[in-house]
Structure 1
Amino acid sequence: MSAIRIGINPISWSNDDLPALGGETPLSTALSEGKEIGYAGFELNGKFPKDAKGVGDVLRPYDLALVSGWYSSLLAQRSAAEEIDAIANHVQVMAQNGAQVLVYGEVADAIQGKRISLVERPRFHTDKAWQAYADKLDELARFTLSQGVRLAYHHHMGAYVESPSDIDRLMALTSTDVGLLFDSGHCYLGGGEPLQVLRKHIDRVCHVHFKDVRKGVVQLARNNLWSFPDCIVNGAFTVPGDGDINFGELLDELLAHHYQGWLVVEAEQDPAVAPSYAFAQKGYQTLRRLLDERTTQ
């Protein structure tokens, strides 16, 4: 039997960056429905408490594990020491609730929540800038590991590390202390073929977001120079089984390399268009079937 577990991000019910998308839905709805569907755990969103005890108290009645939680970093603008101070509480929330990885998102200068074309995203323009950032990231990752939590770097649309070449460079410049969060949807929208990127960096992957894409909408996004919010509201993303990515081949790659972490269903959509329960259930059932086909003897 595989040690892989299937979790979900509450973004299927409410979006932190775009509160108009499900902002009125209470966290309890997401947790109760996710548990009923079959998910083993949840990642954090803005509706969770910010302290370790509070997070545990919220999850415990539903018998759900804490999968991980997004951390908004400003490391590109400040020192490693400053970032270590800033991240310390988040690390403890993870560690004290059994999460072994944290989702690291670089938001310095990012445009992911703004109505600005994705081509205007920030970039490191020199070798020196890349190296300075990588050095700080290594120091930060060593700190989180010392607390029992591995940093899982989230390549993300609208941020410094978005494209396959960005991922390549970051992985080449950092030590293995820095883990990689592989996100199939961001990989595809960022110009990559998910299987190729996963295969290239499989030894660094410590966390997985399985997000599907509608390739026709992605092409419109590229042709019309959409912002990231435009991509979301126009349906570029969806749950596994509802779009065009082959998750079976991605899962085969993970299993071949003995991945034992979480598969997290995450799809930024408007719940008024893509009803939360139905789509969360579709994502779970798709991954459950694919996983069972490969691991049940």
Structure 2
Amino acid sequence: MALAGYVGCGVGHKYPTDPKVLRPALELRGLRISEPWVSTYFTIKAMKRHTLDNVDAQLDFLEAMEGDSNDPRRADLVVSEFGRAVNPLPVALFPNCPDFSEDEWKYLIEGLHEAGEKARARNRQLCYHPHLGTGVMKTEAIHRLMDETDPRLVNMLLDTAHQAAAGVDPLALARKYAHRIKHVHLKDIRAEVVGAIKARELSFQQGIEMGIFTVPGDGSIVTFPEILDALAAADFAGWICVEAEQDPAKANPLQYARMGREYLRKLLGW
């Protein structure tokens, strides 16, 4: 990542979990943490307390990573509701995406507000990630989440590829919610793979392995310039994280990381 020209990264699954080990390794390379991931489970039974405990643990982790730093860049808390989610399961992705009941929506909104209060008390932004295979994947669900959550406590993470693959227009979201988008996962989709996943009733994992995602500029999304313009018009100053989520045996990670960074240089001028 450092060789490709990036200044930060999410928390990888294979990273050291001890901040005393991880922080020096990142600082040696000029990298900072952009976010930890928290899967929330507010919509299923007996998981609210576990979820909020995990939120506290991740906020503690961020303080250990950044507590005495003078760097103005701070990591965000990224969350997504995985209650009844099918993306971790070996089942057809699109037909099995859950639709939340009224009670589940109530539990989700209440839980997110509690998590958002915790983040706010620690001077962090909670950013919600609408994710393939979850109950907040479709356009109407994303709008409902934004309508029913307090903008002081719940921000949006715009993931251009997850939204596009779900049939949601990421440019329309960027324009409508520009002032609530505080974190961006910038990645592309291969539309022909999305079509194959639907036609062959494949799982999320199978879609990843087939190459549903790639770095921005290498796939089917053509509105990245307009998306970035919409965010700039709202004075966006958060993390823009390039992602690919590809099989490394098929797509060399350094090669694609450099491709994504070069594409952004051409768009942004830096």
Given the two structures, how large is their TM-score scaled by the length of structure 2?
0.90
Q: CA deviation at 1:83?
A: 2.6
1:228-267 aligned at under 5 Å gives the runs 228-246=204-222, 247-267=224-244
CA distance in 2, matches of 1:85, 1:132: 16
Deviation per CA, 1:21-62: give whole Å up to 9, x if none: xxxxxxxxxxxxx11111011110111222433331221211
2:258 to 266, 277, 281: 281
Is 1:165 the counterpart of 2:140? The answer is yes
CA distance in 2, matches of 1:37, 1:128: 46
Q: CA deviation at 1:82?
A: 4.0
Deviation per CA, 1:207-233: give whole Å up to 9, x if none: 000010111221222233221112111
When the two chains are superposed, the root-mean-square deviation of aligned CA atoms in Å is 1.7
Structure 1, unaligned runs of 5 or more = 1-33
How many residues of Structure 1 are paired with residues of Structure 2 in the alignment? Answer: 259
Write the letter of the residue equivalent to 2:35.
S
CA distance in 1, matches of 2:209, 2:54: 32
Q: Report if aligned partners of 2:188, 2:244 keep a CA contact under 8 Å in 1.
A: yes
1:1-297 aligned at under 5 Å gives the runs 34-77=1-44, 78=46, 80-98=48-66, 99-118=74-93, 119-125=95-101, 127-176=102-151, 177-246=153-222, 247-292=224-269
Deviation per CA, 1:181-208: give whole Å up to 9, x if none: 1000000111111101221222211100
CA distance in 2, matches of 1:96, 1:141: 20
Q: CA deviation at 1:81?
A: 4.3
SS at match of 1:35: coil
Structure 2, unaligned runs of 5 or more = 67-73
Higher RCO, 1 vs 2 (CA within 8 Å, ≥6 residues apart): 1
CA distance in 2, matches of 1:207, 1:74: 21
Sequence identity, in percent? 33
